[in-house]
Amino acid sequence: MSDTSSHEVVQPEGETRCGFVALVGAPNAGKSTLLNALVGAKVSIVSHKVQTTRALVRGLVIADNAQIVFVDTPGIFAPKRRLDRAMVTTAWGGAGDADLVGLLIDARKGLDDDNLAILDKLGETGRRKVLILNKIDTVRRDTLLALAQEAAARTPFERVFMVSALTGDGVQDLIAYFAEEMPAGPWLYPADDISDLPLRALAAEITREKLFARLHDELPYASTVETEKWEVRPDGSARVEQTIYVERESQKRIVIGKGGQTVKDISMQARKEISEIAETTVHLFLFVKVRENWGDDPERYREMGLEFPRG
Ligand SMILES: Nc1nc2c(ncn2[C@@H]2O[C@H](COP(=O)(O)OP(=O)(O)OP(=O)(O)O)[C@@H](O)[C@H]2O)c(=O)[nH]1
């Protein structure tokens, strides 16, 4: 994991290709799971609850001299709150910049209103696009074929893929196709990058995942985690300080738990995973703070790589 701007990227021999693929889809379609399957490492957050992906996260795959940069977009849904609108704007923005858009549909769900709206919107963009029917481990083949036909009749796609992000079925075919379709050009990232998401942000996402895994019914989505400090010690270990921001005192008490046990458990789980990803011993210190009305603060949006929606 490194800062690409400060690097001379070593290019492989021969012709190289490099491009961006935006994954779009309704909440819970399986974008994060697919991204992780594609990249083969954890770069995005998976949850049973919808709408967990808050920032654009990029995963990197190298195949056949092509570098494929995946843009994971927040779930595209009918936005109500300001924050939600920002996520949607950013999601479509990501799709607009990409060389290829992969629309992910949960095959079990089929073409519900959400998916129909996304199909229509994608049809209007005139972008190159492929349809990815996901979760094929859960549905019959004839259902899949009918679904593929129905979707293609509504919006034409260059290709239709059938995958299970969970089992990895079909994922290699998808990589081979993307690799072939990327435009000719130099690699943008060093080959050993799994993600250009800075380690700090990734560490915050990990803690956030543990927080929600533990307290999913009790916390609103407005809770965030920020890595305030990442200090490398002489022995190579890191002291990492993170703050969990909640909206109310009552939520703070829930996060801390009786005798501090809840936050301690979350910290232990997060520390283990952050250590693995950082490939060093991590000493994690978690703080819990109340921050009211942060959803209306433009600065927060910028920090998350989101556009602040006016009005
Ligand atoms: N059975 C099955 N479940 C899957 C598959 N792919 C994803 N899931 C499950 O579907 C749920 C949602 O997956 P995510 O990857 O979090 O979905 P997402 O589209 O990134 O969701 P947001 O972050 O809300 O946009 C999780 O419980 C996954 O385990 C699959 O191929 N088969």
Binding positions for GTP: 25-32, 72-76, 134-137
What is the rounded distance in angstroms from the CA atom of residue 197 to the CA atom of residue 203?
Answer: 10
Q: Please determine, for the modelled complex, whether the ipTM score is greater than 0.90.
A: yes
Mean pLDDT of 194-206: 69
CB 53 within 8 A of CB 267: no
Sequence-distant (6+) residues with CB within 8 A of 146 are none
Q: Residue with the nearest Cα to atom 14 of ligand 1?
A: 30
Q: Which residues does a 6 A CB cutoff place in the pocket of ligand 1?
A: 25, 27-33, 46-48, 50-53, 75, 134-135, 137-138, 164-166
Q: Domain locations in the chain?
A: 4-181, 199-303
Q: What is the reported pTM?
A: 0.63
pLDDT value at residue 307 = 61
Q: 123-169: per-residue pLDDT in tens?
A: 887 778 999 999 999 999 999 999 999 999 999 999 999 999 999 99
DSSP character string of 91-123: HHHHHHH-SEEEEEEETTT-S-HHHHHHHHHHH
Q: 98-122: per-residue pLDDT in tens?
A: 789 899 999 999 999 889 988 888 8
- Type of residue at 116: L
Distance from Cα 72 to the centre of ligand 1, integer Å: 13
Q: Given this structure, which CATH class describes domain 4-181?
A: alpha beta
Q: Do the first three CATH levels of 4-181 and 199-303 match, i.e. the same topology?
A: no
Mean pLDDT of 181-188: 89
Distance from Cα 169 to the centre of ligand 1, integer Å: 14
Phi and psi angles of residue 255, each rounded to the nearest 5 degrees, phi first: -65, -40
Q: 233-255: per-residue pLDDT in tens?
A: 778 788 999 999 988 888 999 99
Handedness of CA 77, 45, 190, 183 (dihedral sign): negative
Residue of 20 and 303 predicted with greater confidence:
20
> Would you give the DSSP letter of residue 237?
-
CATH number for the domain formed by residue range(s) 199-303 = 3.30.300.20
Sequence-distant (6+) residues with CB within 8 A of 25 are 31, 75, 76, 103, 104, 105, 106, 118, 134
pLDDT value at residue 199 = 74
Residue of 137 and 201 predicted with greater confidence:
137
CB 190 within 8 A of CB 10: yes
Mutational test site, ligand 1, from 34, 35, 42, 46, max ligand atoms within 8 Å of CB:
46
